[in-house]
Amino acid sequence: MSDAVISVRGLRKTFGPTVAVDDVSFDIPGGRIVGLLGRNGAGKTTTIRSILGMTRPDAGETRVLGQPYAERPDAAARVGVSLDELALLRWLPVRTELRVWASYLRIADARVEEILDVVGLREAARKPARALSTGMQKRLSLGIALLASPEILILDEPLNGLDPDGIRWIRGLLRAHADQGGTVLLSSHLLAEMQETVDEVIVMQQSVRYHGSLADITANGTASLEDRFFEIVDH
Ligand SMILES: Nc1ncnc2c1ncn2[C@@H]1O[C@H](COP(=O)(O)OP(=O)(O)OP(=O)(O)O)[C@@H](O)[C@H]1O
């Protein structure tokens, strides 16, 4: 395999008669924000879950920093993950939830205080996660993903539920992450937002229909990502 930060080769996964992904291959280099796009049921989450070792593929392999994610003892520290189904201990106050994760990751509580500011949840720090709005829960999930200052972020639908401020905030956060050499793989349906956010685009429909730079797919910004998306998936 190449020295890509995230590598997917020949991935196939079926659920009974449903082919969720078929022969999906791509390499993601470091320092880039890569958007995984596709209709409902296109296989984005299955691909992400396969990369994270949460789904066992029928065929193919995935690697993160050269090794299968599940075989990396340092995976939790080096890869920040936020999935659409939020893995929050919903009855815990926000600060305690972050401290539980910090303890697991052997990170000092001082970092929890930093993260509360980074994700804008200081005022909500005493509230249980279940009392937060969807967008605020998303911020908490992102806070957990960022705790260990990982070099890779894998985010399934991170924009869902965020208000315009939240979307602008996350865009800045992801750009700063990539500018420092970090890598981001994120899925989203929000094509206009993705056009403002990503460096590279992977369009999926069971298999990869397109993988290239945002500049190429949008002809240096003269075409909309949405128009190009429909041309590709309806072709
Ligand atoms: N655990 C499962 N059991 C049965 N079918 C599944 C399971 N997970 C996914 N699928 C099916 O696999 C296909 C791909 O689903 P997947 O969730 O990967 O798509 P997606 O691109 O993430 O969709 P969405 O945008 O709606 O989140 C769909 O047809 C879905 O119904």
Using one digit for the tens of pLDDT, what is the confidence trace for 169-213?
999 999 999 999 999 999 998 899 999 999 999 999 999 999 999
CA 8 to ligand 1 center in whole angstroms: 18
Mean pLDDT of 99-123: 93
- Nearest Cα neighbor of 10 from 55, 52, 47, 49 is 47
Residue whose CA lies nearest to ligand 1 atom number 2: 15
Atom of ligand 1 nearest to the CA of 21: 14
The predicted pLDDT at position 86 comes to 63
Residue whose CA lies nearest to ligand 1 atom number 3: 15
Q: Which of 10-24, 71-85, 111-125, 187-201 has the lowest mean pLDDT?
A: 71-85
C-alpha radius of gyration, the chain, whole number: 18
Strands 79-82 and 152-156: parallel
Q: Which residues line ligand 1 (CB under 6 A)?
A: 15, 18, 20, 38, 40-46
Q: Compare 75 and 88 and report the one with higher pLDDT.
A: 75
Mean pLDDT of 95-113: 93
Mean pLDDT of 110-119: 95
Task: Name the percent of the chain lying above pLDDT 70.
Answer: 97
Q: How far apart are CA 155 and CA 137, in angstroms?
A: 14
In this predicted structure, the answer to whether residue 51 has a pLDDT above a threshold of 70 is yes
Tokens of 122: 């200081």
ipTM above 0.90, yes or no: yes
- Nearest Cα neighbor of 185 from 176, 174, 169 is 174
Q: How far apart are CA 186 and CA 201, in angstroms?
A: 10
The predicted pLDDT at position 160 comes to 84
Three-state secondary structure call for residue 66: coil
The mean pLDDT value of the chain amounts to 92
pTM of the model as a whole: 0.93
